[in-house]
Copies of this chain bind each other. A is one copy, B any other.
Amino acid sequence: MTPATTPAQLDAALRWRYATKAFDARPIPAGVWKSLEQSLQLAPSSYGLQPWKFLVVTDPAKRALLRPNSWGQSQVTDASHLVVFTRQTSVTEADVQAFFDQMVSERKADPSKLEPYRQMMVQNVAQGMPAERQREWAARQVYIALGQFMTAAAVLGVDTCPLEGIDPAKYDEILGLKGTRHETVVACAAGYRSADDKYAGMAKVRRPLDQVVVRV
């Protein structure tokens, strides 16, 4: 396959990216947003189990309610899009079965050949992890999706700001997640930086490459 970009262009995009503090009102064009939604759908996860759901909060009233539960950060209301990354509260044998059935169907596979894979997922995740570890495992997968989303946005020239400083319980309440199988982990605003955002021009502060990537 022809690569989608070059090392130089990728570097430039990742250096251009920063945690945007001030967004302007420009909306992300539909085609670009569709691609970002697909980057969420296609994100890698452990066993491919996708223990997540991504809520795109389009209702301005909901965004207004979320803001005070996010340290008042303006990105929550001002960015073109706000995505709330949720995890499943548990991964059950039925979840594994549903994924397995879809895999068998879409790959036209012999279920008996895939059976060991199903058993591995059941033993290692659905049954093998205590409830709390399952939730943390799911949170880590959600962070892969967050990483993929921010990188995808950067190469498409879309600004983002990850929002960890939020109140997940309040988010769950406002978004109607209480009592469902999903709960808020983290959020991310996406859109376009405001010309006034003084953070845009600041040097990116990173450990020296040779201290952070070490050959052994």
Contact surface of A with B, Cβ cutoff 8 Å: 1-17, 19, 31-32, 34-35, 37-44, 46, 48, 50, 52-59, 62, 99, 102-103, 106-107, 124, 136, 139-141, 143-152, 154-157, 162, 164-165, 175-176, 202-207, 209, 211-216
Q: Which residues of B contact A19 (CB under 8 A)?
A: 44, 48
In the assembled complex, which residues on chain B have CB atoms less than 8 Å from the CB atom of A1? 12-13, 16, 157
Pair A207/B4 contact, Cβ less than 8 Å: no
Q: Quick one: copies of this chain in the complex?
A: 2
Closest Cβ of chain B to A86, distance in Å, is: 9
B99 touches A205 (CB 8 A): yes
Which of chain B's residues have a CB closer than 8 A to the CB of A40?
A: 212-213
Question: Are A58 and B215 CB-contacts (below 8 A) given A10-B35, A42-B204, A156-B10?
Answer: yes
**Closest 6 interchain pairs by CB?**
A147-B147, A7-B35, A3-B157, A143-B143, A4-B9, A151-B151
| B14 and A39 form a contact (CB under 8 A) | yes
Q: Which residue of B lies closest to A186 (CB)?
A: B140
Task: Give the one of A43, A50, A139, A216 with max B CB within 10 A.
Answer: A216
